[in-house]
Structure 1
Amino acid sequence: MRSVAIYDMDKTITRKATWTPFLVHAALTRAPWRLALLPVAGIASVAYLAKVIDRAQLKQATHRLMLGRAIPPADLDAVAEAFADSVAASNMFDDARARVEADRAAGWEPVLATASHGYYARAIAARLGITQVIATEARRDADGNVLAGIEGENCYGPAKLRLIEAWLAREGLARGDVRVRFYSDHVSDAPVLEWADEAFAVNAHGPLRRLAAARGWAVLDWEG
């Protein structure tokens, strides 16, 4: 039986969320004038909080504002690699690194499953030696340029479980063929935590901490 340890990324592996810092990093690197559009991005965030737009629409709007309509993949890769270096240097829990290594040594294959865009999540995962990444994916045009639109589903909430199940299918695995550990900080990942054989609430906020207590899930508080 294959053993898979699946990790959420933002505030589970990383100390802080990564999307807005990535957008700022990308704008500074490619087109600093786009930083003047941050207030517009803030309005989009308010629209999300008011439930005028959903998370996927917010992600698409802020991508378009801060990165532009279309980005050559080589340019985006360079931005993502530099951003991943900064995350590894100052925005990653030492305990998360240690847990990934301990799981790997115990025979668990590490997988990253995140709502973050794959174009930078894969670079962050690589700093942990993780090659399997399930993430939100961007559309591309006929020339391969990365667009603001999302391809498929935003990898969040119930959609994350569907995308994990799709990954298992691509790997040729039925659910009964694999033992799964899942680590997350947020209650939005409850569908995957319920589905996993071993659930870990990591650095959990209040709602997840209460759910973990009710379900008997392990609670981990990572420092450093």
Structure 2
Amino acid sequence: MSTLIQYSVFDMDRTITRGGSYSPWLLYWAWHEAPWRLLFLPLSLLAGAAYVAGLVSRGRLKEINHRLLMGRRVPIERIAPRAEGFARRMVPGRTFRGARARIEAEKAEGRTVVIATASYTFYVHAIAARLGVEHVVGTKSHRDASGAVLAKLDGENCYDGAKRDMVAEALPPRETLHVRFFSDHHSDAPMFEWADEGFAINPTPKLRALGEARGWQVIEWE
């Protein structure tokens, strides 16, 4: 029997980072690029209320907030330096020491580390690079003919079952793999079930209960 390829897949928000990254990214962008867009924050809150009420999907909420706080179309050459600046804020100061240490330990074992996140890849790549991670699976945005980023999802929001499907598509055939998965949230249950080993990091109560039932390891980072 051939040796299995070793992968370690990490959720990002609240697993590696101490909190969410999408709202902080939007605020960081607006503050540095177009402070007048902060006037749209009440509309962003209304959109959030519409999501809670079930009137818009999580992916549509992401598009609305993107349009309000970043704009309909942004050249990628404007985003890249801001993403790097945002990543410097996030790593190491707003990441868990335990997460950084575990990523290095997984790499030392010869495992390929992947960050799989619902956050947009156009800024996650900069965070991943500062963590020494080359591979990212995340939510993508449409680009126009010039490569500019548009306020529209390109494919699925990388969340829940869609995250599992997107990771499965990005990795080699499942039968050739051994996969560890790390996450804080019960929405990642499909990924936990898909993986060979699960690690519930500072888990939500629902994930803690599910992890105890499934035999996944529970880890508290800081």
Report the TM-score range of the alignment, normalised by the length of the smaller protein: over 0.9
The CA distance in 1 between the partners of 2:109 and 2:159, in whole Å, is 28
Q: How does 1:121-140 map to 2 (within 5 A)?
A: 121-140=124-143
**Deviation, structure 1 residue 89:** 3.8
Q: Secondary structure at the match of 2:91?
A: helix
Q: How does 1:196-215 map to 2 (within 5 A)?
A: 196-215=195-214
**Deviation, structure 1 residue 157:** 0.2
Match of 2:215 in 1: 216
The CA distance in 1 between the partners of 2:90 and 2:123, in whole Å, is 11
Match of 2:85 in 1: 82
The CA distance in 1 between the partners of 2:182 and 2:116, in whole Å, is 10
| 1:37 pairs with 2:36 | no
Deviations 1:154-182 (CA, angstroms, capped at 9, x unpaired) = 000000011001102xxxx2111110000
Q: Secondary structure at the match of 2:24?
A: helix
Q: Can you give the 5+ residue segments of structure 1 that lack an aligned partner in the other structure?
A: none
Aligned equivalent of 1:158, options 158, 161, 165: 161
TM-score by length of 1: 0.97
Aligned equivalent of 2:108, options 92, 105, 110: 105
Match of 1:92 in 2: 95
Match of 2:51 in 1: 48
**Deviation, structure 1 residue 107:** 1.4
Q: Secondary structure at the match of 2:62?
A: helix
The CA distance in 2 between the partners of 1:84 and 1:57, in whole Å, is 25
Q: Let me know the Cα RMSD of the aligned residues.
A: 0.6
Q: Secondary structure at the match of 1:100?
A: helix
Runs of 4 or more, structure 1, over 2 Å off, are none
TM-score by length of 2: 0.97
Q: Secondary structure at the match of 1:68?
A: coil
The CA distance in 1 between the partners of 2:173 and 2:33, in whole Å, is 43
Match of 1:188 in 2: 187
Question: What number of residue pairs does the alignment pair up?
Answer: 219
**Deviation, structure 1 residue 20:** 0.6
The CA distance in 2 between the partners of 1:47 and 1:216, in whole Å, is 37
Q: Secondary structure at the match of 1:90?
A: coil
| 1:7 pairs with 2:10 | yes
Match of 1:17 in 2: 20
What code does the residue aligned with 1:83 have?
A: F
